[in-house]
Chain A
Amino acid sequence: MKAEELKNQGNACYAAGDYVGAEKFYTQAIIKDSTNAAFFTNRALVRLRMDMYDQVIDDCLKAIDLSANSLKAYSYLGQAQLKLGYPNESLSSTLRAYELAIAQRSPSVGAIATTCLEIKKKRWELSEERRRTRESNFAMRNARLILFFAPLLGVRRITPEKIQTLEDVFGKAEAERYGKREVPDYLIDNITFSVMLDPVITIHGHSYDRVTLLDHLKRSPTDPLTREPLTEKDLRPNLALKAACESFLKENGWAVDW
């Protein structure tokens, strides 16, 4: 069988839900012809479904070597990196996929943009988890130290009330950190009502998230807020606002779901 036929066999298996069979056919196709990026991205996808994340990364990197602008390769690479617990790497791969999707006018651009925001949330959750562990260890050590030295400080009896007070002090600091959950209006897109990923500014001075604004312009070439005529050529990236959204989400990953 020719490489292309083997790939088609693999696709048929994949469509039928037979991932093991699909992976076998893609591997045979690669053995026949190791210069076709599509064979590698197809195998990456089926391996993604089989939770073989390290192998997904190998396939994607190979595919990128063969075809530097492979949207699928960057997209699967990002998914595997996230599964393996590398949110920063995952984000930069997925952002690359997003750029390619915009440039290639891919219909999957909306889904990729959503994934970028999800990864930002995941990254924040992981860093919060680490920080919490660090801080609670620190608080516990301090609490023990205080109790240990209490007699020296003239505290004769350590009552449950005193322990409670100690816990309250640490608890209060924690609560203040999490109490405030507000998203500034200027970071919120007027169409999706979410924090923006890739804001563009119109000639009328309003900013919108690129993907949904392009969607709107396809239906109606107007600025949604002012209703003045607007086309894709009139859009410029709003880099300052993009940086503001990025740094806000870095500290406030919860805002992705807000």
Chain B
Amino acid sequence: MFHAKRLQKELSKIHQGLPPGIHLVAANDFQEWQMDIEVLDENPLYHGKTYRLNFKFSSNYPIEAPEVMFIRATDRDIPMHPHIYSNGVICLDLLSSGNGWSPVQSVESVCMSIQSMLTGNTKNERPDGDDQFVLRTNRSLRNIRFVYDDPTV
């Protein structure tokens, strides 16, 4: 598969520079990368905070979407957002393996989409049913079926 080659290319492009507020934390192999993102405007929900994203790539990347979620680390919490569960799972059309994902997307473009998803948010809340969802942690991310029923966010 060409996923290693493609990620290698993304990596060399990343080393040439990333958009403001997006940083590479670790890319030691072609299975998992970590990225940090900051929200750059004055949004009080996220001001002055940095969040960490974990990317998991299958050997079918980029035909298949990567698994992307927020992870906790020192000084890194899970951002409050009505589409982000408290275990870091992100409910974003772009990342769903159905028709949301497109292979022309990249790690960089996914980071930018998530950054703007935070920038535009004003609600200090978790998705409905967050508690139950987090309890079912043993389910694979890929099998989660989200319902995009809230067009306001």
User: Which residues in A have some Cβ–Cβ distance to B below 8 Å?
Assistant: 110, 114, 190-194, 212, 215-216, 219-220, 222, 224-225, 227, 258
B99 touches A220 (CB 8 A): yes
Tell me the count of chain B residues lying within 8 A, CB to CB, of chain A: 16
Q: Write the chain A residue with the least CB distance to B2.
A: A192
4 other A-B residue contacts (CB within 8 Å) besides A216-B63, A224-B104:
A114-B2, A220-B98, A220-B101, A222-B99
Q: Write the chain A residue with the least CB distance to B103.
A: A191
The one of B1, B98, B99, B104 that contacts A191, using a Cβ cutoff of 8 Å: B104
Q: What is the minimal beta-carbon distance from B102 to any residue of chain A, in angstroms?
A: 5
Rounded to whole angstroms, the CA-CA distance of A82 and B22 in the bound complex is 44
Known: A110-B1, A212-B63, A219-B64. A192 touches B6 (CB 8 A): yes
Chain B positions within 8 Å of A216 at CB level: 63, 103
Q: Write the chain A residue with the least CB distance to B12.
A: A258
Question: Does B62 sit at the interface, judged by CB under 8 A?
Answer: yes
In the complex, the number of residue pairs spanning A and B with C-beta atoms less than 8 Å apart equals: 44
Chain B interface, >50% SS class: loop
Contact with A along B83-125 (1 / 0, CB 8 A): 0000000000000011101111000000000000000000000
Question: Does B5 sit at the interface, judged by CB under 8 A?
Answer: yes
A225 touches B63 (CB 8 A): no
Chain B positions within 8 Å of A225 at CB level: 102, 104
22 A–B pairs (Cβ distance < 8 Å), ordered by A: A114-B2, A191-B6, A191-B62, A191-B63, A192-B6, A193-B5, A193-B6, A193-B10, A194-B9, A212-B2, A212-B63, A215-B63, A219-B63, A219-B97, A220-B101, A222-B102, A224-B102, A224-B103, A225-B102, A225-B104, A227-B99, A227-B102
Chain A positions within 8 Å of B102 at CB level: 220, 222, 224-225, 227
9 closest A-B pairs (Cβ-Cβ)?
Answer: A193-B9, A191-B103, A190-B104, A224-B102, A224-B104, A215-B63, A216-B103, A224-B103, A193-B6
Q: Write the chain A residue with the least CB distance to B106.
A: A193
Chain B positions within 8 Å of A114 at CB level: 2
Known: A216-B103, A224-B103. A194 touches B63 (CB 8 A): no
User: CB within 8 Å of A: which of B1-42?
Assistant: 1-2, 5-6, 9-10
With a 10 A CB-CB cut-off, give which of B10, B99, B101, B104 has the most chain A CB atoms.
Answer: B104
The one of A194, A220, A222 that contacts B2, using a Cβ cutoff of 8 Å: A194
Chain A positions within 8 Å of B6 at CB level: 191-194
